[in-house]
Every structure is written in C-alpha cells, then in structure tokens.
Amino acid sequence: MAIRKCPYCLKVVPAGTVVAHSYDLVCPGCGRPLEVAGVSRNLAIAAGLAAGAAVYFFAARNASGEMLGWLLPMVYGFLALSIVAPLVLMLTADLRLKPEEAIPLMVHEEPAAGHGGGHAGHH
C-alpha cells in the first residue's frame, strides 16, 4: 500500500490533512471515512518519544545551575516530541477504511408498576 493513499479509490490524501484530522479523516476523492493504521501511529509516537528523550538528556547534561535550569530540558524534550511525531506520521501514514461503528440500539422500556416514586399524582 502506498503512503497516504485511500485504499478504495487510491487518491492521495494530503499530509497535513492526515495529521490534522487523523481521527475524523475523510477521503477527498470518494468521501469514505478513513483511519491511520495502528502501526503508523505507533511508529510516529516511538520516533517522537525517542527524539524527545534524546533532546531531554542532551539538554539536561548541558543545563546550567540556574533557578529554572531543570525546566528547560523538559520543555525542549516536549517540543522535540511535538515536532517529530507529526513529521514521522506525515511520512509513514498508512490509511485504511474505517470500520463501521456499531449502532447502539435504542430500547425504550416502560417503568414497572410501583416504581414511579416521586410523582405528584401518587398518594
């Protein structure tokens, strides 16, 4: 399967759309609901976490003894995660058709006799 292509009509979905609308993704060609495969999501998160950890440890080693010196490595690590994960998802997103969600059954039950406590008409 090609990266970011609809498996039904084979139209390429733009990378920005895949990242911005990954949970409510719709094919621009056929209009079918799509989802990003779990392998692609896990790969993107793993790459983002690895980049964040590497940046954190590098920044923590070089941190100064200032009052907020402990905070900057966390901020840099978070920024690395926030940048790398979407970029990897843009490059590796494998799309598949979203399975049909089960439609919940709306069951209307009448209350049993004698269980209507709190009504004004009952004495």
The pLDDT, as a whole number, for residue 101 is 63
Residue 123 lies in a domain: no
The pLDDT, as a whole number, for residue 25 is 87
Residue 85 lies in a domain: yes
pLDDT tens digits, one per residue of 81-98:
999 999 999 998 888 888
Instruction: State yes or no: pLDDT of 13 exceeds 80.
Output: yes
Total of domains in the chain: 1
The pLDDT, as a whole number, for residue 104 is 40
The Cα-based distances of 39 to 43, 78, 93, 94 in angstroms read: 6, 22, 9, 8
In percent, how much of the chain has pLDDT > 70? 78
Q: How confident is the model at residue 50 (pLDDT cuts 50, 70, 90)?
A: very high
Residue 52 lies in a domain: yes
The pLDDT, as a whole number, for residue 58 is 92
Domain residues for 42? Answer: 15-97
**SS3 of residue 78 by DSSP:** helix
Q: Write out the H or E segment, with its range, that includes residue 54.
A: helix 38-61
Q: How confident is the model at residue 1 (pLDDT cuts 50, 70, 90)?
A: very low
Is residue 11 a contact partner of residue 5, using CB atoms and an 8 Å limit? yes
The pLDDT, as a whole number, for residue 112 is 60
The pLDDT, as a whole number, for residue 31 is 87
Residue 48 lies in a domain: yes
Nearest to 29 by CA among 17, 19, 20: 17
Residue 3 lies in a domain: no
Instruction: State yes or no: pLDDT of 62 exceeds 80.
Output: no
The pLDDT, as a whole number, for residue 102 is 33
Is residue 25 a contact partner of residue 17, using CB atoms and an 8 Å limit? yes
